[in-house]
Structure 1
Amino acid sequence: MSVYHERQKWELCALHALNNVFQDGQAFSKQLLDELCQNLSPGSVLNPHKSMLGLGNYDVNVIMAALQHKECEAVWWDKRRCLAELRLDVLLGFIINIPSPMQLGFVSVPIRRKHWIAVRQIDGTYYNLDSKLSKPVTIGEDGKLRSFLETQLKLKGCELLLVVTKEVAESRTWLK
């Protein structure tokens, strides 16, 4: 199986992360995410769930609503827990929110923004499917994945979402 990887366009990292987790460029569209924003804040002039410029920058509420369209859920990972408690075999993937420097062309501005990235196992190997990367980066097997996640979680402001089916979320079988 080849690895599907969407590259960054505008501020659509949430869209790219969702499609990269599901390994299907047709899973979600900007139009669907914009509709979800409207449903989350009907009648609002400035929608708080996306960029006021209409270029993306969707928040976690949009990601959670999008996952529900696929009969899935986002489970927030409590950083105080040990990653060894995770049952990797029942997870569809991960969506990580990391601080990212703001770029204006080639110049890095000292403003930190949030960036969504996807991590997914494909044929027994985990991949970092960050849309800012030119191609997927191999993480490796379970142990290397846990090390990668530990490193990410040490970043100030990093948040980890587990992408699971509704059944796994309800039964909490993502925990050992």
Structure 2
Amino acid sequence: MNGISGGIYHEKQVKELCALHALNNLFQSRDAFTKPELDEICQSLSPHVWINPHKSLLGLGNYDVNVIMSALQKKGCEAIWFDKRKAPECLELAHIKGFILNVPSDYRLGFVLLPLKKRHWVAIRRVSGIYYNLDSKLDAPHAIGQESDLMHYLREQLDSKEKELFIVVSREVDEKHLWEKDEIIDR
């Protein structure tokens, strides 16, 4: 189910399409990407394989970071892995389009919790001056708050060794390295 909640576009989780939802939520558009487009990216990344390593064997989604990075490049953007040894305050938020957070997720078969782990993709971005967690598993966007609230939220998320943060910027911002402040702030 997709929709606008308080003027914010937010796709809800369907199958294992969290990467698709994260991308569409990040770009605030139902039409930013489609499942066939992401499947096509998978095919282009591994064209001569029977089982594609970039998505679920069952074709339900579960796309990897390579697919997300390729999709972002099609929109003139780059995903930059954030080094957790640095403090989030080193980020120049004015030049950042948003964030994609990768978090561990339990694997369930109905009500049964399996001893497998999978990954879940979450978009974070600013809309009308407020930062939002646009996790497709949420019923609605969750307001994080202003810049200081975002810094606190990102520090909490990065304290987990299993979570990874990707900064989404335009290609120009990446090339000129404008996403990071001149002074280095270590955690």
TM bucket by the smaller chain? Answer: over 0.9
- Asked whether the equivalents of residues 93 and 164 of structure 1 are also in contact (C-alpha less than 8 Å), the reply is yes
**What is the match of residue 123 of structure 2?**
118
Secondary structure of the 2:9 match is coil
**What is the match of residue 54 of structure 2?**
49
Partner of residue 31 from structure 2, selected from 7, 26, 30? 26
The range that moved more, 94-103 or 23-32, is: 94-103
Deviations 1:125-169 (A, max 9, x none): 000000000111010000111111111111231110001000001
Q: Report how far residue 112 of structure 1 moved.
A: 2.2
Q: Report how far residue 105 of structure 1 moved.
A: 2.7
Q: Within 1, Cα distance between the matches of 2:39 and 2:143?
A: 32
135 and 108 in structure 1: CA distance in 2 versus 1, 3 angstrom threshold: farther
The ranges of structure 1 where at least 4 consecutive aligned residues each deviate by more than 6 angstroms after the TM superposition are: none
Structure 1 residue 95 and structure 2 residue 81: aligned?
no
Deviations 1:28-78 (A, max 9, x none): 000000000000001110000000100000000000000011000001100
Q: Within 2, Cα distance between the matches of 1:98 and 1:156?
A: 10
Secondary structure of the 1:175 match is coil
Deviations 1:11-37 (A, max 9, x none): 000000000000001000000000000
Q: Percent sequence identity over matched residues?
A: 56
Q: Report how far residue 82 of structure 1 moved.
A: 1.2
Gap runs ≥5 in structure 1: none
Q: Within 1, Cα distance between the matches of 2:27 and 2:96?
A: 12
The range that moved more, 150-159 or 162-171, is: 150-159
**What is the match of residue 173 of structure 2?**
168
**What is the match of residue 185 of structure 2?**
none
RMSD: 1.1
- Asked whether the equivalents of residues 5 and 135 of structure 1 are also in contact (C-alpha less than 8 Å), the reply is yes
Q: Within 2, Cα distance between the matches of 1:134 and 1:38?
A: 32
138 and 106 in structure 1: CA distance in 2 versus 1, 3 angstrom threshold: farther
- Asked whether the equivalents of residues 20 and 34 of structure 2 are also in contact (C-alpha less than 8 Å), the reply is yes
TM-score (norm 2): 0.91
Structure 1 residue 132 and structure 2 residue 109: aligned?
no
Q: Within 2, Cα distance between the matches of 1:115 and 1:166?
A: 25
1:43 is matched by which residue type in structure 2?
H
Secondary structure of the 2:70 match is helix
Gap runs ≥5 in structure 2: 1-5, 182-187
Q: Within 2, Cα distance between the matches of 1:43 and 1:134?
A: 39
Partner of residue 153 from structure 1, selected from 158, 177, 180? 158
Q: Within 1, Cα distance between the matches of 2:137 and 2:58?
A: 20
- Asked whether the equivalents of residues 98 and 155 of structure 1 are also in contact (C-alpha less than 8 Å), the reply is no
- Asked whether the equivalents of residues 87 and 155 of structure 2 are also in contact (C-alpha less than 8 Å), the reply is no
Q: Within 1, Cα distance between the matches of 2:98 and 2:82?
A: 13
- Asked whether the equivalents of residues 12 and 138 of structure 2 are also in contact (C-alpha less than 8 Å), the reply is yes
TM-score (norm 1): 0.97
